[in-house]
Amino acid sequence: MGIKKTTIITLAIVGLAVIIVATLTYYRTTEEELSTVPMDTPESSANIPSFPEQTNNQLVSIENPNDLDEIKKAFSDFVSEPAKANIAYTGVRVIRFADNKGKLLSLSTISSSLGITIPKTLADLVEDEDYDIFYCSSGDGEKDYGLILYARSAVGRSLNEGDYKNIVGQMKQWESSMLRDLHLILFPNISFSETELGQKLLFRDGNVRFTEIQMPDGTKGSINYKQFGDSIMITSSLECLSNGSGYFFDIEE
């Protein structure tokens, strides 16, 4: 074999080796770079994260749970904050109250501090340690408010059909006084007179159970509620009930 031909073959082998080394180095570097880049998380998920992971859920720490004024002040701040129409999940924002150890305050404690009333016959059928208070913000900066109660069995067993029917019956019995009992949480910025709080409420069946109410300024408002399995949602507008059902239960009303 001639010297010229040998030189060409040697150069070809060296060139091929250089290419192989360069290729391996490139892929190794690329893999290392990719391993340091966090994977993108999909913007939407079939399952909404549970409370309090979402940023539109607010967990308020109460230093002294026996100080009802402190709880009332925290709720007042929640009511007076600017409406956040651009928050995730149809503008719903939730507040919960906890002591300084992170334990949620009971519904009975919150009821006492905010001046709302849950009839005892119904209170015996719902969780005292699990509830949600929320608002729905609209594009014009207005807010509608809501409350969710979670049913339980009074005898410590799983809920059955009879329990659900009992809850439906208790809710209907509550209808006549629902405005008086819940106006401080459903209409926190509205001052009702005694006569207005005692107005006759005629609830009707539609997609939800609802009634019109006469507001102090002469306009019409509403109270709306619906049972979603073991959850009862009560709101100050039909739109808020629809948004709330999508937020909490992934159901569009």
Which tens digits make up the pLDDT trace of 36-68?
333 233 333 333 334 444 456 888 999 999 999
The pair phi, psi for residue 242, each rounded to 5°, is: -65, -45
Measure the CA–CA gap between 186 and 188, rounded to whole angstroms: 6
**Is the pLDDT reported for residue 90 higher than 90?**
no
**Is the pLDDT reported for residue 16 higher than 60?**
no
16-46 CB burial, b ≥16 within 10 A, e <16: eeeeeeeeeeeeeeeeeeeeeeeeeeeeeee
Through-space distance between the first and last CA atoms of the chain, rounded to whole angstroms:
87
**Is the pLDDT reported for residue 105 higher than 50?**
yes
Q: pLDDT band for 191, please (50, 70, 90 cuts).
A: very high
Q: State the pLDDT at residue 83.
A: 79
Looking at per-residue pLDDT, the higher value among 98 and 83 belongs to 98
**Is the pLDDT reported for residue 24 higher than 50?**
no
Measure the CA–CA gap between 164 and 152, rounded to whole angstroms: 10
Measure the CA–CA gap between 50 and 95, rounded to whole angstroms: 13
Percent of the chain residues past pLDDT 90, beyond the cut: 58
Paired residues of 214 in beta bridges: 220
The whole-chain average pLDDT of the chain stands at 80
| DSSP of 128-170 | EEEEEEEEEE-TTS-EEEEEEEEE--TTSS---HHHHHHHHHH
Q: State the pLDDT at residue 106.
A: 95
Q: Mean pLDDT across the stretch 189-201?
A: 96
Within 8 A by CB and 6+ apart from 48, the residues are 54, 89, 247, 248, 250
Q: State the pLDDT at residue 3.
A: 45
The CA–CA distances, whole Å, from 124 to 128, 149, 184 equal: 9, 12, 22
Measure the CA–CA gap between 21 and 40, rounded to whole angstroms: 32
Q: Mean pLDDT across the stretch 123-134?
A: 93
Helix 68-80 to helix 107-114 angle (10° resolution) is 80
Looking at per-residue pLDDT, the higher value among 47 and 16 belongs to 16
pLDDT digits over 129-179, tens only?
A: 999 999 998 767 789 999 999 998 777 788 888 888 999 999 999 999 999
pLDDT digits over 223-233, tens only?
A: 999 999 899 99
Amino acid at 82: P
Amino acid at 62: I
Candidates 166, 186, 173; CA nearest to 236 is 186
**What pTM was estimated for this model as a whole?**
0.76
